[in-house]
A and B are shown apart, each in its own frame.
Chain A
């Protein structure tokens, strides 16, 4: 006799004892049909752009088929070299590396002060950080741009690196985590004569690896996708990141739409790789981290 592989018990709204009813059986089929539709709607545009990248300009403008007539991978490599995307990739990685450093160290130190050191008057700083979360950064964009230009910091990555160190959301996340650390460990460090900085680097940060990973992932993805401030800061110079390049490219009057689609694909590859490596971390932490909106 064949043993049927049984599904795990249903723990949601519909239960196993319901599934005897015909109407519920139909409902379950409908649920799965909807799920397949969700998957199609989510993934089809990504699949489509991948296929569109294989078309040349004439085919892209005229063909109504999703799939290209020939799969010529050379079209991707040609756009890659013609547009010199490699340099934009490297620029993006530079921005990301510096931003991750500042996001971890500067936000971490501020949160360390707010959660553990608590010098007199830290409450005001804490309130201002929380308030910063409520006021959208775009509203400060115009004067920020003017200040950056007046200080002659335009044209290079420095403002973008530093901007990562002023993230209210990361400070709050770090602070919450630091508050949950056992105070005895920190006291032990004090008794051993560690300086305040040494306690941070030798005790607090090593204990906070999980939250550091989360902040790093979110910084990498956020910095990779950001283009408004980078566009204003980097302009059309040689330090353009991938997103700035794509933005400038997409606003040009005359563009090769097939090249544009390939550039879109190039800009999507790193986030997708990152997603599949850290899939579990991301989908779990979106619940705590994602409330941001």
Chain B
């Protein structure tokens, strides 16, 4: 009897948390899937239309563009965003004096509100002659450029800006990983005649390989959801050149049309792609624990 009562009070204690999770995550997720199969008017579900929403968005130019762009964001963030934190960790890790200061400075952009940072960078990349990057180019003798309205430039620029914000935090994780390398390995390698570059190549980089592969997939998952950066910097423009899947979802739902059915279809497709990445992540993680 008392045992059953204890079980009951235990569940009562967990109930507020479970209720909030259900309200804020679990139920909306299910609704999102359901809604993607309906034609909607404002907030009402009008009729079940099967896969019509999916078929219609796949035929739309802006969706094809957004899908392609999202992969382009991922590609550029692998090219830029993955390497920079490793480089930061290696370089800052080799300093002795003022290392704490370098670490703090590299991490500082991360604590700024993302929205504020994006507005700030919008002024930097401004096409006017008073845009900060254009001023710098002017000093170097170049003509002012129109960065955020160039279809080919806009995605790399957004990736550079998000790297500026995020790299310091990732670098701290790499630094912790590097601190775990046994110092005797370096000494032994030196005795065997390995120079500095050889030590980096044969000891340091292999040591952070596992950490790197985990962070790589986490980064892909994060970049795939990119939304407010292009929303603030370019609103998806020019001509959808920086439109991402999540931003398209936002535009369909809250951009004036209240097209919640299509928005949900985009969300579900994005979730499916993300689940594939997540499966890959848990696969890599399992392989890693098998090795250790």
**Is A243's CB within 8 Å of the partner chain B?**
yes
**Is A106's CB within 8 Å of the partner chain B?**
yes
* Alpha-carbon distance between A147 and B20 when the two chains are bound, in angstroms: 13
Main SS at interface, chain B: helix
Residues of A within 8 A of B (CB-CB), count: 104
Q: Give B196's nearest chain A residue, CB to CB.
A: A14
**Is B61's CB within 8 Å of the partner chain A?**
no
State the Cβ distance, A128 to closest chain B Cβ, in Å: 7
State the Cβ distance, A215 to closest chain B Cβ, in Å: 14
* Alpha-carbon distance between A28 and B278 when the two chains are bound, in angstroms: 40
Note all chain B residues with C-beta closer than 8 A to A114.
14
Note all chain A residues with C-beta closer than 8 A to B11.
113, 119
**Is B225's CB within 8 Å of the partner chain A?**
yes
Chain B 226-266 near chain A by CB (<8 Å), digits 1 or 0: 01100010000000000000100110011000001001100
Q: Is the CB of A61 within 8 A of B108?
A: no
* Alpha-carbon distance between A247 and B250 when the two chains are bound, in angstroms: 15
Note all chain A residues with C-beta closer than 8 A to B20.
102, 106, 162-163, 165-166
Q: A45-B121, A166-B17, A232-B254 are in contact. Are A243 and B113 (CB under 8 A)?
A: yes
Taking a contact as CB atoms closer than 8 A, the residue among A7, A27, A43, A140 that contacts B29 in the complex is A140
Q: A61-B128, A140-B29, A146-B260 are in contact. Are A43 and B108 (CB under 8 A)?
A: yes
**Is A136's CB within 8 Å of the partner chain B?**
yes
Q: Give A292's nearest chain B residue, CB to CB.
A: B218
For chain B, give the interface size range. Answer: 35 or more
Note all chain A residues with C-beta closer than 8 A to B190.
15, 17-18
Greatest chain A CB density within 10 A among B28, B116, B264, B270 is at B116
Q: Is the CB of A32 within 8 A of B28?
A: no
Note all chain A residues with C-beta closer than 8 A to B101.
39
Taking a contact as CB atoms closer than 8 A, the residue among A27, A119, A149, A168 that contacts B43 in the complex is A149
* Interfacial residues, chain A to chain B (CB-CB below 8 A): 7-8, 10-15, 17-18, 24, 27-28, 31-32, 34-35, 38-39, 41-43, 45-46, 48-49, 52, 60-64, 66, 102, 106-107, 109-110, 112-114, 117-120, 122, 125, 128-129, 132, 134-147, 149-150, 162-163, 165-166, 168, 171, 195-197, 200, 221, 224-225, 227-228, 232, 243, 246-247, 250, 257, 260-261, 264, 267-268, 271-272, 274-275, 279, 282-283, 286-287, 290-291, 293
Q: List 23 A-B contacts (CB under 8 A).
A: A11-B183, A18-B190, A31-B94, A38-B91, A62-B130, A113-B11, A113-B13, A125-B18, A136-B225, A138-B227, A138-B246, A144-B24, A147-B27, A171-B17, A196-B6, A196-B10, A228-B228, A232-B254, A267-B113, A272-B108, A272-B112, A290-B169, A291-B214
